[in-house]
């Protein structure tokens, strides 16, 4: 069987019986690229085409907003807890929230335009400990 190196394109003629029934790793002599050679006897697996989830972008945006909000809490736990108790959470975390918003907006421009509540909900869940402190929050433009 003829095998091409994906790194440099070198061609190798490898006897099929040397590969056997299971995939084998192969190192190219020319460029040292390591790649897998599938057995010629192995059944070909056909993957079903993946159906696009219409909410996939929305769910990814929501998850990323939650990651950003949870990171703000993790790295600023004492400040968040103190400012939450003092009622100054928004003021104390304003710069960090704005930086996270910019990152989220750059990654998800459509969702940030159409559904900024996804980001606010994440802030309420993590930073405000479930209270609706960020209902009226809007990013600086």
Q: Tens digit of pLDDT for each residue in 48-98?
A: 555 556 568 899 999 999 999 999 999 999 999 999 999 999 999 999 999
| Residue 108 belongs to a domain | yes
| Residue 141 belongs to a domain | no
What does the pLDDT average to over 9-24? 83
Note whether 68 and 107 are same-domain residues: yes
Note whether 33 and 73 are same-domain residues: no
Q: Which domain holds residue 20?
A: 2-37
Q: Tens digit of pLDDT for each residue in 89-124?
A: 999 999 999 999 999 999 999 999 999 999 999 999
Note whether 75 and 110 are same-domain residues: yes
SS3 assignment for the chain: CEEECCCCCCEEECCHHHHCCCCEEEECCCCCCEEEECCCCCCCCCCCCCCCCCCHHHHHHHHHHHHHHHHHHHHCHHHHHHHHHHCCHHHHCHHHHHHHHHHHHHHCHHHHHHCCHHHHHHHHHHCCCCCCCCCCCCCCC
User: Into how many domains does the chain fold?
Assistant: 2
| Residue 49 belongs to a domain | no
| Residue 44 belongs to a domain | no
Note whether 74 and 107 are same-domain residues: yes
Spatial CB neighbours of 98, under 8 Å, sequence gap ≥ 6? 139, 140
What is the C-alpha separation between 65 and 139, in angstroms, rounded? Answer: 14
Note whether 86 and 114 are same-domain residues: yes
Cα-based angle 42, 31, 24 (whole degrees, multiple of 5): 20
Q: Tell me the whole-structure pTM to 2 decimals.
A: 0.61
Note whether 69 and 99 are same-domain residues: yes
Distances, alpha carbon 28 to alpha carbons 5, 11, 12, 21, 34, in Å: 6, 9, 9, 21, 6
What is the C-alpha separation between 81 and 84, in angstroms, rounded? Answer: 5
| Residue 70 belongs to a domain | yes
Note whether 62 and 115 are same-domain residues: yes
């Amino acid at each position: 069987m003829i095998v091409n190196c994906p790194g440099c394109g070198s061609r190798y003629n490898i006897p099929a019986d040397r590969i056997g029934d299971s995939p084998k790793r192969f190192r190219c002599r020319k460029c040292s690229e390591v790649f897998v050679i599938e057995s010629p006897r192995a059944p070909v697996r056909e993957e079903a085409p993946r159906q696009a989830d219409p909410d996939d972008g929305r769910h990814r945006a929501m998850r990323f907003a939650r990651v950003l909000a949870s990171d703000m809490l993790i790295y600023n736990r004492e400040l968040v807890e103190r400012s939450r108790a003092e009622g100054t959470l928004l003021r104390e975390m304003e710069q960090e929230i704005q930086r996270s918003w910019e990152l989220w907006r750059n990654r998800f421009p459509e969702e940030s335009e159409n559904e900024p509540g996804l980001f606010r909900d994440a802030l309420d869940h993590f930073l405000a400990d479930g209270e609706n402190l960020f209902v009226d929050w809007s990013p600086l433009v």
